[in-house]
Amino acid sequence: MIRVRRFGDVTQLAMARTVFGRPLYVACAYYLDGLLLDDGPPVTAPELARMLSGLEVRQAVLTHAHEDHAGATPLLRSRGITPLAHPLALDILAHPPHQRPYQWVTWGRQPASSAFPIGGEVVTRAYHFRVLHTPGHSPDHISLFEERHGWLFAGDLFLSAHVKVLRSDEDPHQTIASLRSVLALPVTTLFCASGKVIEDGRAALQRKLDFMERLRDDARERRAKGVEPARIRRELLGGETWWPVITSGHFSKQNLIDALVCE
């Protein structure tokens, strides 16, 4: 499934595998002025191929190398478009890591692909983007900022103001630093890979930063008093949901607490 929504000059492509007509997990790419930001999961690549026939894609950027964002990169390459990505993404794209069952069921098996290392800016005919290294969700994560309009294409940096589960390979301390860095910019509209398009993007980013810093400080205070991490998680975030069951522990509330109490 690919659902198309338009926000002025920006086109959002919401991509997902569906089961009984319902999307399992939506990942959004964005298109404007010949630039494609992310290319979605492998499972929607055939539908994306049909859609690209109606879009004038001249260049592409990957916010990071996860399979729901870079899974159709071979399709772009077959059309003569080599995406740009952070240098840390290049080896991941060339040698995709082992996928857990929930990953290939939800998004499909990620094929090997390639990209060129991105520089400090991306320029289209109408827009000028500053490339920001915003690690945390992944080491190679980048965001694009269009200063004249205040647009921030944030990939998976934001997702939600109150994210309470974490991948086991994420670094919330880096996410906090990345949020601080983008808040130093005059952000207006926030375009998220989750599908959220938030007009007051700066306020949303500040809410997430405030939440994560409070959670970090509360978790560390309890840990300094000798409280065990499992109890800290119950006190601050409550019981686990179905996430650790479905993902074999790859996503969980406990991952978030464990990472926050580490220096």
193-218 tens-digit pLDDT: 999 999 999 999 999 999 999 999 99
Q: Can you list the domains of the chain with their CATH numbers?
A: 1-118 (3.60.15.10), 126-184+199-263 (3.60.15.10)
- Residue 153 to residue 158: CA distance in whole angstroms: 10
Over range 17-25, report the average pLDDT: 89
* Cα–Cα dist 150/161, whole Å: 19
For the beta carbon of residue 243, count every other beta carbon within 10 angstroms.
Answer: 17
What pLDDT does 21 receive? 84
- pLDDT category, 160, cuts 50, 70, 90? very high
What are the pLDDT digits (tens) for 61-108?
999 999 999 999 999 999 999 999 999 999 999 999 999 999 999 999
The pLDDT of residue 262 is 87
* Global pTM value: 0.96
CA distance 121 to 130: 5
The pLDDT value recorded for residue 54 is: 86
Cβ neighbours for 245, distance < 8 A, ≥ 6 positions apart: none
Strand, helix or coil at 263?
A: coil
Query: What tokens appear for 174 in the block?
Result: 């880096």
Residue 53 has pLDDT above 90, yes or no: no
In the predicted model, what is the mean pLDDT of the chain?
96
In this prediction, residue 263 has a pLDDT band, given cuts at 50, 70 and 90, of low
d(CA 142, CA 37): 11
* Average pLDDT, integer, range 179-187: 98
> Judging by beta carbons within 10 Å of its beta carbon (0-12, 13-18, 19+), is residue 173 exposed, middle or buried?
middle
Q: What percent of the chain has pLDDT over 70?
A: 100
Residue 70 and residue 38: Cα distance in Å, rounded?
6
